[in-house]
Structure 1
Amino acid sequence: MSDGKGRQVARRRVFYIPGYDPIHPRRYRELYRSEGRAQAEISGYHLHLRPKTTAGPYGWHVGAEIGGVDVQADVEVLVWSDIVRGSMSNSIPATYLQLVRTSWIYIATGALRRLMWLRKGPIIAALYPIGMLILQLCLAVALGIAAGHVLFAALDTLLGGGAGLLAGLGAFASGVGGTVAVLRWFRKKDGKFFAYYLMHDFAYSAFYKGANPPELEARMAEFAGIIATALTSDVDEVLVVGHSSGAHLAVSILADLIRAGRVPVDGPALGFLSLGQVVPMVSFLPKADRLRGDLAYLSARPELVWVDVTAPGDGCAFALCDPVAVSGVAPADQRWPLVVSAAFTQSLSPARWKELRWRFFRLHFQYLCAFDAPKDYDYFQITAGPVTLADRFAGRAPSKSRIALAASPYTSVAA
């Protein structure tokens, strides 16, 4: 495996690992299509998509002409949305039990307090579903009580003062029914509130206190096999993109590949691009020994180039936090990741920034979208352009606002 420096890319394999997302991966294809077209128009290059014709994970083929060079790229989504959907199949009471259990884990282990040392944005994002679900419950109970009072008064008037017991039972049933109906309405409208979705997200990582669930470990092993096969193919670069919680999956997958000797010395350049990472939400938990060990290991390896891109404008990510350093496992010979900012406030026009500023979940996906004035971060040139990840960021200094404070309450690693 070469480091990719000085190598022009004619063919590339890209493996995108999404975050905790239950939606079919075609959404990523359509996002790539629409945003890639927009970025090509802004930046003056050509980009077109066509259906994938090879076997394997869901994906698409990209043809690009950038800087006078033709590049062919196959982008594939490593899907675990079925696992996500399975973990989200909970009743309303079960979700509230998740709320209590997840809150207790983060508070009792000291993880929440240490996470607050880093960035306020993702902590607010973590507290949001708790606050929103409690608010929904309070509103549902209040409306249920109000409905009960109205029915009690109506029945008491209709049946006379002597029918108080019957009126009371009717009012109680009405109150309970009203409460349940309101909670079900909120659950149905979660596409607007995201309270249940985010609660399931945080609960999934917290359930095993930072360890990977067995079904996820099995899927990660499958992903490793797919990437290993690509590393023996006739391409110039294999690029792994981990977005949001997909970033920490990618860390462990790549660490496993290198440990097992599955990265050929004379193979394609290997790049790892982590976007909008939320690694500390997992690595700060007591049983995240596997992840912390993988972070320490991968951060010192010469077999790949690892660039971590976040932005302070993304309130759902641990912006500019070195995931290795803040987890307290940075080795003396650490070389990765290179922590850089996508600089939303500079790379988006004032009008566009104004439009997106308070759309927190949309901003968390901005890394996969077009920028009005892109700097050295252009998702489409990185995934479909003629320059390797290594060359694109060669000589690039880390962001001056990089956070490398060792904050995790736990620093044990897997043997």
Structure 2
Amino acid sequence: MQQDGATEAEGQAQFRRRVFYIPGYDPIHPRRYRELYRKEGGDQAKISGYRIDQKPKTVKGPYGWHVTGQIGGAVTEADIEVLVWADIVKTSMERGIAGTYLQLVRTAWAYIGSGALFRLMRLRKGPMIAALYPIVFLLAQLALSLLCGWGLGLLVGLIHPALGWLAGLALVWAMLRAFKRWDNKVFAYYLMHDYAYSAQFKGANPPELEARMAQFRAAIRASLTEGFDEVLVVGHSSGAHLAVSILSDLLREGLPAGAAELSFLSLGQVVPMVSFLPKAGRLRGDLAYLSAQDSVAWVDVTAPGDGCAFALCDPVSVTGVAPEGKRWPLVVSAAFTQSLSPERWAELRWRFFRLHFQYLCAFDRPKDYDYFQITAGPLSLRRRYAGRVASKSRIETPLSGYRSLQ
């Protein structure tokens, strides 16, 4: 694999790239991604000996930035845009305490009743622990609140039984409200909303999300004829399975004449959490379709150190929809334990949410994955990973109980 493109890229005309970043289930303003790119890109450039300059965006789009990369003797111009669906995420999180506990019951049943939970457990323990965490944590909060409310009710009930009931119920509600206010430290409500959003239609996309995906597809299509050498779609976490469907729809429509090279990088994907559900036929069909075509190079990067992702699980194969002639994705490990120094790994090891974003960050002992060379370097994704073999420890065992493609 070419790591910096020095030999091939020297003397080439300036390489122009358009990058569309699709975030996961994240309610935070996209400026977070701009600042993350600025900081981490600067750090990686110092470590790896190249230069990245970031400026305000120069193309149309709701939110993005412009990057000039000087890597391996070549200059690359990249326009990066965040495809925003944070407003949909925020709306889906606007549930009260009772509504969240109702979500808990429905989501648990969606995975347990369908058998998906038990099949997912056979893939990776990390993401299943992450999925069970909000259920266990919310139930523990409820149990503690009820226990304290019962105790207070007994004490006050010695004086006046009716007041005892009222005092007990008031304490239960007050404690549950306090737990919800403190959720920015434990993320139990946030994760519950995340899993509930995917499970609410048993794997089918909600209508508002399908509408937004159509807008994303139109933006990507328009960029293909704007003079760029490569249009790169990056899907992170839940954004990976959105990108699979967006790109599949785009290819089915037919690419415009003279289209730029189109590439897809999936990072920290959680595709099986959706594709294993009964009504995820649309996603399963898109996985099968995208894996067999050759118009879009698809590289899937995960790491066993990321407990929130289905690390090294080929999303097509484990879903059981790999067609004859399957070409993609190329499954690659970011190998956190090797690409981060022992000191840095010790610092990050138990920061699970931070590690889930490490794919977008600097590595102090980089190997063959470098987000900033991929997005601001002189080689397209296909050329960069040409000749790269898939990770030997990838998982391809088909485990989904649902294989319908529509």
Q: Pick the TM interval, shorter chain.
A: over 0.9
For residues 68 and 157 of structure 2, the distance between their equivalents in structure 1, rounded to whole angstroms, comes to 69
- Structure 1 position 71, deviation (Å): 1.1
Deviates more, 1:314-323 or 1:170-179: 170-179
Aligned residues: 397
Matched, 1:337 2:320: no
* Other-structure match for 1:136: 141
Q: 1: distance between equivalents of 2:191 and 2:87?
A: 17
Report the equivalent of 1:318. Answer: 310
Once the 2 structures are TM-superposed, how far is the Cα of residue 265 of structure 1 from its aligned partner?
Answer: 5.3
Query: After superposition, where does 1:237-256 map in structure 2 within 5 Å?
Result: 237-256=230-249
Cα deviations by residue, 1:275-296 (Å, 9 ceiling, x for unpaired): 0000000000111110000000
Structure 1 counterpart of 2:169, which letter? V
2:190 corresponds to which residue?
197
Q: 1:92 aligns with which of 78, 93, 97?
A: 97
Check whether the contact 1:376–1:392 (CA below 8 A) recurs between aligned residues. Answer: no
User: Separation in 1 of the partners of 2:302 and 2:348?
Assistant: 16
Q: C-alpha distance in 2, partners of 1:105/1:74? A: 40
Distance in structure 1 (CA, Å) of the matches to 2:190 and 2:233: 26
Q: Does 1:175 align with 2:180?
A: no
Q: Who is 1:392 aligned against?
A: 384
SS at match of 1:19: coil
CA deviations 1:246-278 (Å, max 9, x no partner) are 0000000000000000x2353211110000000
Residue aligning to 2:297: 305
Q: Distance in 1 between matches of 2:156 and 2:347?
A: 45
Match of 1:53 in 2: 58
Query: In the alignment, residue 191 of structure 1 is paired with which amino acid?
Result: N
In the alignment, the residues of structure 1 paired with residue 146 and residue 258 of structure 2 have an alpha-carbon distance, to the nearest angstrom, of 65
Structure-2 separation of matches of 1:110 and 1:375: 38
Secondary structure in 2 matching 1:73? strand
The answer for the alignment partner of 1:369 in structure 2 is 361
> Alpha-carbon deviation of 1:150?
4.0
One-letter code aligned to 2:91: G
1:135-194 CA-to-partner distances (Å, cap 9, x unmatched) read 0101111222233344445xx3xxxxxxxxxx2222221111111111111111111111
2:126 partner amino acid:
G
Pairing partner for 1:109 from 107, 114, 131: 114
2:214 to 221, 231, 234: 221
1:184 aligns to 2:177 (yes or no): yes
2:59 and 2:79 in contact (8 A); partners too: no
Paired residue for 1:162?
Answer: none
TM-score when scaled to structure 2?
Answer: 0.96
Deviations 1:193-227 (A, max 9, x none): 11111111111111111001110000000000000
Runs of 5+ in structure 1 lacking a partner?
157-166
Q: Secondary structure at the match of 1:406?
A: coil
CA distance in 2, matches of 1:150, 1:391: 72
**Aligned residue in 1 for 2:43:** 38
Root-mean-square deviation over aligned CA pairs: 1.3
Alpha-carbon distance between aligned partners in 2 of 1:194 and 1:321, rounded to the nearest angstrom: 25
1:21 and 1:137 mapped to 2: Cα distance? 26
Which residue identity lines up with residue 259 of structure 1 in the other structure? R
Determine if the alignment matches structure 1 residue 285 to structure 2 residue 277: yes
| Deviation (angstroms), 1:67 | 1.2
Q: In structure 1, what residue type is equivalent to 2:345?
A: W
User: Deviation per CA, 1:85-123, whole angstroms, max 9, x where unpaired?
Assistant: 111110100100110111011011111111111001111
- Equivalent AA in structure 2 for residue 307 of structure 1: V
1:19 to 21, 24, 32: 24
For the residues of structure 2 that align with 1:57 and 1:228, how far apart are their CA atoms? 16
CA distance in 2, matches of 1:117, 1:15: 33
- Report matched runs for 1:343-382 at 5 Å: 343-382=335-374
Any unmatched runs of 5+ in structure 2?
Answer: none
Secondary structure in structure 2 of the residue aligned to 1:290 = helix
2:202 and 2:277 in contact (8 A); partners too = yes
